[in-house]
Structure 1
Amino acid sequence: MSVQYEDHSVTIFESALHQTTSTVAVTKDVIIIVDPTWLPEEIQAIQKHVNERDSGQRKYLLFTHSDFDHIIGYNAFPEAVTIASRGFAVRSGKKETIQEIKDFDDQYYIQRPYLIDYPKVDIIIDYDEQTIDIGETSVTFYLAPGHQADGVFAVINNLNVFIAGDYLSDIEFPFIHHNSEAYSRTLDKAEKIIGEKEIGLLIPGHGKATTDIKEMKDRLEDSRWYIEALRKEVSETGSYDVLQAFVDSFSFSRYLGEMHQENLQQMRKEEKKNS
């Protein structure tokens, strides 16, 4: 599994699939493992990395949201204390999510050395700025609905690291599986975090991390523009050509074009509901 970023505390692994990131942050107090995924060999590389840096710290396993690709490595770290949002813990459709993992493994003849199961959550995030302090390490959480209903942001305060889940990617525009207005409010929250927390490293769930504040802000504004353009397109007050050109500017535009069509369907559902 490739490593896309590494410093003295943080290692970001990048899967061969969807450029999905799995992050390991190590301090003298804790090891925080975020969304370990996809393939067995990739998850084994994360396990090896954790074991090599284990000097008795408490291990925490953070799930940024409940998409199956982000929970697929759950039972590879049975000793870790799990963290996720209340929505993640109580959501309906857990069996369907597990079936997605099993279908994926069946399709590609994948055998895993651990059981597939929906994560049981030990520490539930209920509100913005909920903070966990372990020794000198402090982690602050924020609810982040929009992509999914059960998303969560995390900021490792003493490292100035912002774990953004499936937001603020350089290779994806917003995928709105839950609600566009909630997504926009979550972007506002991300802007506040970047401004007030003096973020030095932004880690999206897919694509490249960045240490550049301007790049972080550009990703915010691109996401906002896309949602607003999508809304205008659906209400027939905007230009389809401009929006389509934006979608086509991304790599992997065939797949992203399908996601764009799903966003349009989601926005039409919202428009109909609000009319």
Structure 2
Amino acid sequence: MSLVVRQSRFLHYNAGAFVSNGETCLVDPGILAEEIKALRHDVGAVALVFVVLTHADWDHVLGPESLPQATTVAHESYARDLDPDGIRAVLARFEEQAGVRRDAPFDPPLPALTFAKSTELEVGDLELHLEHAPGHAASMLTIYEPRGADLWASDVMSDVEIPSIVDDLESYERTLGRIATLEIGTLVPGHGTPTSDRTEIRRRLDEDRGYLEQLRAAVESAVSVGSPLQETLGRCEAVALRRSEDDAITHRLNVEKVYADLGGDANPDEVGFVRAWKEAVRG
């Protein structure tokens, strides 16, 4: 056993572990305390050497609270990406809806180890390659285990959602370009269905890259002729979505974000996922 994955009953969220020779590294260990406990049970009586947080989104930073003895690893931009007050507000509403009772306010974890571009972690006989993978989030990373060709892709290459560009389109494009150079035997997205079907892995990569290509072309065309944001949103309705109804909100936020970043007449702090996060925090 080298890769263990456990999916939450919320958000199609994947938590997991790399296990080798009596040691384990947990990845985004879970949303609920009971899920984190179940993951620890899945990996067995092995030493917990690392907990990797793939990025600073609220649902990916909850594990260390239940694992205070673990060495937490994240990208060096994690702390800058973190919004503790916003996370506490969003988490409080989520836990209320989920029926979770909390004894003390959540304190978002800070990593003990960080890195800039890449680093390697030794877990038993495994060598985990951590790479900065911005685009969805500035702090996002991926984990690649070359012996098994296992890729923990974080919040890209999902089968249940289109790319969400919280950080930067160009960075997202570069991240997918780097992933395209890897031999991937097993893919684990942050949200969605893990797969070892190489045809499916290639399909997801091609679909994500194709979506970003269409999005860029449509927004660049609109910005070049001075189209306002509302008109640009209309121009981008032709961009192919994986599941048009379910993906429509994410697509709109992507258009807003890319429109502002490419020089359209919009305030970057009032559109896209920045706007959506502010609304989520306010409730």
Same fold, TM-score > 0.5, yes or no? yes
- Which blocks of at least 5 consecutive residues in structure 2 are unaligned? 223-231, 267-283
Distance 1:133 1:43, change over 3 A: closer
Classify the secondary structure of the residue corresponding to 2:77: helix
Classify the secondary structure of the residue corresponding to 2:68: coil
Instruction: Note if contact 1:23-1:34 (Cα within 8 Å) is conserved in structure 2.
Output: yes
- What is the CA distance between 1:29 and its match in structure 2? 4.5
Distance 1:58 1:240, change over 3 A: closer
- Aligned letter for 1:225? G
- Aligned letter for 1:103? R
- What is the CA distance between 1:256 and its match in structure 2? 2.1
**Partner residue of 2:35 out of 29, 42, 65:** 42
Q: Which residue pairs with 2:166 in the alignment?
A: 177
Classify the secondary structure of the residue corresponding to 1:159: coil
Structure 1 residue 17 and structure 2 residue 7: aligned?
no
Structure 1 residue 264 and structure 2 residue 248: aligned?
no
- What is the CA distance between 1:255 and its match in structure 2? 4.1
Identity of aligned residues (%): 27
Classify the secondary structure of the residue corresponding to 1:158: coil
- Where do residues 27-66 of structure 1 align in structure 2 (5 Å cutoff)? 27-50=20-43, 53-55=44-46, 57-66=47-56
Q: Which residue pairs with 2:96 in the alignment?
A: 106
Moved more, 258-267 or 17-26: 17-26
Q: Which residue pairs with 1:4 in the alignment?
A: none
- What is the CA distance between 1:229 and its match in structure 2? 1.0
In the superposition, the TM-score normalised over structure 2's length comes to 0.81
- Which blocks of at least 5 consecutive residues in structure 1 are unaligned? 1-7
Structural RMSD (CA) = 2.5
**Partner residue of 1:213 out of 188, 191, 198:** 198
Structure 1 residue 142 and structure 2 residue 131: aligned?
yes
Instruction: Note if contact 1:59-1:79 (Cα within 8 Å) is conserved in structure 2.
Output: no
State the Cα deviation string for residues 61-109 of structure 1 (Å, max 9, x = none). 1111111011122211122111110011343523322332223223444
Q: Which residue pairs with 2:116 in the alignment?
A: 126
How far apart, in 1, do the equivalents of 2:156 and 2:142 lie? 9
Instruction: Note if contact 1:143-1:151 (Cα within 8 Å) is conserved in structure 2.
Output: yes
Structure 1 residue 164 and structure 2 residue 153: aligned?
yes
How far apart, in 2, do the equivalents of 1:137 and 1:63 lie? 18
State the Cα deviation string for residues 18-45 of structure 1 (Å, max 9, x = none). 2111112211142111112223433332
How far apart, in 2, do the equivalents of 1:78 and 1:103 lie? 24
Moved more, 116-125 or 167-176: 116-125
- What is the CA distance between 1:191 and its match in structure 2? 1.1
Instruction: Note if contact 1:201-1:211 (Cα within 8 Å) is conserved in structure 2.
Output: yes
Q: Which residue pairs with 2:225 in the alignment?
A: none
Instruction: Note if contact 1:145-1:182 (Cα within 8 Å) is conserved in structure 2.
Output: yes
Q: Which residue pairs with 2:276 in the alignment?
A: none
How far apart, in 2, do the equivalents of 1:54 and 1:92 lie? 32
Moved more, 139-148 or 83-92: 83-92
Structure 1 residue 151 and structure 2 residue 140: aligned?
yes
Equivalent residue pairs, number: 255
How far apart, in 1, do the equivalents of 2:104 and 2:72 lie? 17
Structure 1 residue 96 and structure 2 residue 49: aligned?
no
How far apart, in 1, do the equivalents of 2:256 and 2:98 lie? 30
